[in-house]
Amino acid sequence: MTKRSMTRREAVRVLGTSALSALPAVALSGGQPQLVKGPASGTLLQVALIPCPDYGSENLTAAIQAGWRSSRPPDVRGKRVVIKPNIADFSEERPIHTDPRLVESLILHLKKLQAREIILAEGPPHNRDTEWLFRKSGFEALAKRQSVPLVDLNYDDMSPVKCINPRATLLKELYLPRTILSADVVISVPKMKTHRHAGITLSMKNMFGILPGMKYGWPKNTLHWNGIPLSICEINGTLKTHFSIIDGVVGMEGYGPLLGTARKAGVLVMGDNALSVDATAARVMGIDPARVEYLAMAHRIKLGSLRREDIAVAGEKIEKARADFVLDPEYAFLRAPKG
Amino acid sequence: MPNIFLPRALDFIKANQNADGGWGYRPGGDSLVEPTGLCLLALMAGGEKAATAKGLDFLKACLKDSGAVGINPRDPEGSWMAYAALLAFDALGATDEERRLRDWILSFEDASSRFTPADIKAIATVYRFDASIRGWPWTPNTTGWVEPTALFIIALCRAGVPATEKRIKSGVDLILDRKVPSGGWNFGNPYSKSYELEASVMSTALALAALGAAGVTESYPAVDAGIRYLTRSLTGDVSTASLAWVLLALNCFPTGAALAPKVSSRLAGLQAADGGFRRNLFETALAFLVLSDAAILVRIPGKGR
């Protein structure tokens, strides 16, 4: 096998969570999403930035309702809704996973809106022991309480779906779980976290977790070799996330997404365009979204927009909610100037 | 057999065989190589050999001209699930298929040869392991990790490949190199920058079973520390699959074998009224095998099949 030269950053990332894209983002331009279309050009994107001081059920319910009212939520009545939280791993000390209390409030909200079926689904990236992980993170108990299925996407039945532009990637197609493909509505509910190799992980990065580990390995290693930014765009360009709710009540700063420390931002960030939701959440974290490689790439291939002027933010002002997350020194360049 | 209800696991397995002869992870799920391989071993171990023919045909259909086995017949490439097919081919006497698959597994490459000396140095700095050591990946030409390396070592040794074979030796080296300093293994990163990463029960059990199969004894500090890690972990929450792999690992070492009866009882107690474990066919077959005779799955030095 021919050895190719990797940068230090690349070499380090393929072992853990990413490799920088080996292919230019421009290779993706012109690709046509098969299952998803980006918002029409010129559309003002709507994002709700809602204060939520803690995980008390009253506060969560009020925040979800306020965010739902002030963004463009999907019609869930009579629909099959899949909620994709982030359950990357479990730690007693660190807030790695989406708080199940938020997800429970969302389930109750969806039930009120008469969703026909609600399913919780996640394919954890590192730890194959999903039974343990679901139990320790509180999601097993939540699923039982609310009588909703909890699906391990790592071992879900799957179907191949052609990638938006096979020339752009080593992957000609994505094998996607049928639980996701058969959903009428997919709601991504990630934790607001820094990421040691992607910079930050929010709604778009959360969708990495839908790909079955049995096909892509752990930690979805095929995708890491393919390049994390490219793979994120590939997944989000192929499969639509209908709504995102970012758990920024307590996020993670520093050496995330597993080893960082808790950081309270006290907000939920919600909206129907994952890129604009992520861009807004990044600004809350004190990060310039245009400096985050996969967000910039997603913007270039028109999966939405990260530009402030394209996003109407309802609720709290970004400047007021801004809670500069501590960045790993390697990612200091992501910091947005104040003002 | 520690549990008189255990044979009902076989009924659960037989009742949930798909029309194509294979099994999915859950009843009605698409047939896949890993659950099919383990269900076939369980049926054979339970004296139900007549019920294995169709399942064996499914696995044979997964064998490509190259000798590779993917996750199902439609998978265009080979994969980690091939370990289960090798175990089944070996146990069911499919000698030609076993030989072809064994040769492919021995040529199934990870990414170690893709790293330059500079890459290896950088990885050693951040993750503190030697990326030049060849193991097995989950998918072709990606990074070698502890669990697929362990699974392939277990299967190769069970199929009679000597532990002196260079790929197995290298795999053992990888596992030993990736140990977590405070004991046990995780998926394969002992450190990330200055942080020591935690071990996990499943990874540790698989690593120990592989080391045991390859003849690495308790005199190795990593093995001793791994067994102690498992012993500590058993006081807490352990999943069904992890408990089964733990039982397999403990059977490979004299100290561990002393703990095995307790673990057997705990695992047997998880069997549901329908005969299955968590309504998962892979876990049901795995539990049945380790509770019946761990030697069906792993070569235990000094013991026959």
ipTM of the complex: 0.95
Q: Which of residues 211-230 of B touch A (CB under 8 A)?
A: none
Tell whether the model's pLDDT for residue B108 goes beyond 80: yes
Instruction: Output the 3-class SS for chain A.
Output: CCCCCCCHHHHHHHHCCCCCCCCCHHHHCCCCCCCCCCCCCCCCEEEEEEECCCCCHHHHHHHHHHHHHCCCCCCCECCEEEEEECCCCCCCCCCCCCCHHHHHHHHHHHHHCCECEEEEEECCCCCCCHHHHHHHCCHHHHHHHHCCCEEEHHHCCEEEEECCCHHHCCCCEEEEEHHHHCCCEEEEECEEEEECCCEEECHHHHHHHHCCHHHHCCCCHHHHHHCHHHHHHHHHHHCCCCEEEEEEEEEEEECCCCCCEEEEEEEEEEECCHHHHHHHHHHHCCECHHHCHHHHHHHHCCCCCCCHHHEEEEECCHHHHCCCCCECHHHHHHECCCC
Contact B111 A213 (CB under 8 A): no
> In terms of C-beta distances under 8 Å and separation of at least 24 residues, what long-range contacts does B161-168 make, across chains too?
B161/B102, B161/B106, B163/B213, B163/B214, B163/B215, B165/B106, B167/B106, B167/B134, B168/B214
Task: Count CB atoms within 10 A of the CB of residue B217.
Answer: 13
Q: What is the pLDDT of residue A18?
A: 30
Give the closest residue to B206 by CA, choosing from B298, B141, B111. B298
A158: which chain B residues are within 8 Å (Cβ-Cβ)? 30
- A218: nearest CA partner in chain B: B138
- What mean pLDDT is predicted for residues B267-271? 96
Q: What is the pLDDT of residue B301?
A: 73
Question: To the nearest whole angstrom, how far is the Cα of A133 from the nearest Cα of chain B?
Answer: 9
Instruction: Give yes or no for A319 touching B (CB within 8 A).
Output: no
Q: Which of residues 43-72 of B touch A (CB under 8 A)?
A: 71
Task: Count CB atoms within 10 A of the CB of residue A155.
Answer: 24
Residue with tokens 């509505």: A185
Give the closest residue to B218 by CA, choosing from B245, B170, B159, B258. B258
Fold (CATH) for A47-334: Rossmann fold (3.40.50)
Instruction: Give yes or no for A196 touching B (CB within 8 A).
Output: yes
Helix or strand run (H / E) with residue B79: none
Domain ranges for chain A: 47-334
Closest Cβ opposite residue B119 in set A11, A158, A215 = A11
What distance lies between CA B265 and its chain's CA centroid?
A: 21
Using CA atoms, how far residue A119 sits from A53, A108, A331, B150, in Å, is 27, 12, 35, 34
A136: which chain B residues are within 8 Å (Cβ-Cβ)? 237
Q: What is the pLDDT of residue B1?
A: 46
Tell whether the model's pLDDT for residue B33 goes beyond 50: yes
Instruction: Give yes or no for A22 touching B (CB within 8 A).
Output: no
Instruction: Say if CB A294 and CB A30 are below 8 A apart.
Output: no
Question: To the nearest whole angstrom, how far is the Cα of A297 from the nearest Cα of chain B?
Answer: 24
Q: What is the pLDDT of residue B248?
A: 97
Give the closest residue to A311 by CA, choosing from A44, A82, A24, A28. A44
A224: which chain B residues are within 8 Å (Cβ-Cβ)? 142-143
Q: What is the pLDDT of residue B176?
A: 98
Instruction: Give yes or no for B146 touching A (CB within 8 A).
Output: no
Contact B239 A131 (CB under 8 A): yes
Tens of pLDDT, residue by residue over B161-220, are: 999 999 999 999 999 999 999 999 999 989 988 889 999 999 999 999 999 999 999 999
Tokens of B256: 């561990």
A330: which chain B residues are within 8 Å (Cβ-Cβ)? none
Tens of pLDDT, residue by residue over A275-285, are: 999 999 999 99
CA distance B37 to B193: 39
What single-letter amino acid sits at A3? K
Contact A12 B115 (CB under 8 A): no
CA distance B291 to B280: 16
Contact A221 B32 (CB under 8 A): no
Instruction: Give yes or no for A128 touching B (CB within 8 A).
Output: yes
Q: What percent of chain B has pLDDT over 90?
A: 88
Q: What is the pLDDT of residue A37?
A: 66
Instruction: Give yes or no for B192 touching A (CB within 8 A).
Output: yes
Instruction: Give yes or no for A172 touching B (CB within 8 A).
Output: no
Give the mean pLDDT of chain B: 94
Among B126, B174, B185, B246, the strongest candidate for a mutation testing the A interface, having the largest count of A CBs within 10 A, is: B126
Instruction: Give yes or no for A126 touching B (CB within 8 A).
Output: yes
Q: Is A217 left (phi over 0), alpha (psi -120 to 50) or beta?
A: left
CA distance B68 to A116: 43
Task: Count CB atoms within 10 A of the CB of residue B67.
Answer: 19
Tens of pLDDT, residue by residue over A30-77, are: 333 335 667 777 789 999 999 999 999 999 999 999 999 999 999 999
Contact B115 A131 (CB under 8 A): no
Q: What is the mean pLDDT of each run of 10 residues along chain A (339 residues)?
A: 43 41 33 54 90 98 98 97 97 96 98 98 94 98 98 96 66 89 97 96 97 94 87 91 98 96 98 98 98 95 94 98 96 92
Residue pairs spanning A and B at CB distance below 8 A: 121
Contact A8 B237 (CB under 8 A): no
What distance lies between CA A306 and its chain's CA centroid?
A: 15
Residue with tokens 């277990």: B154
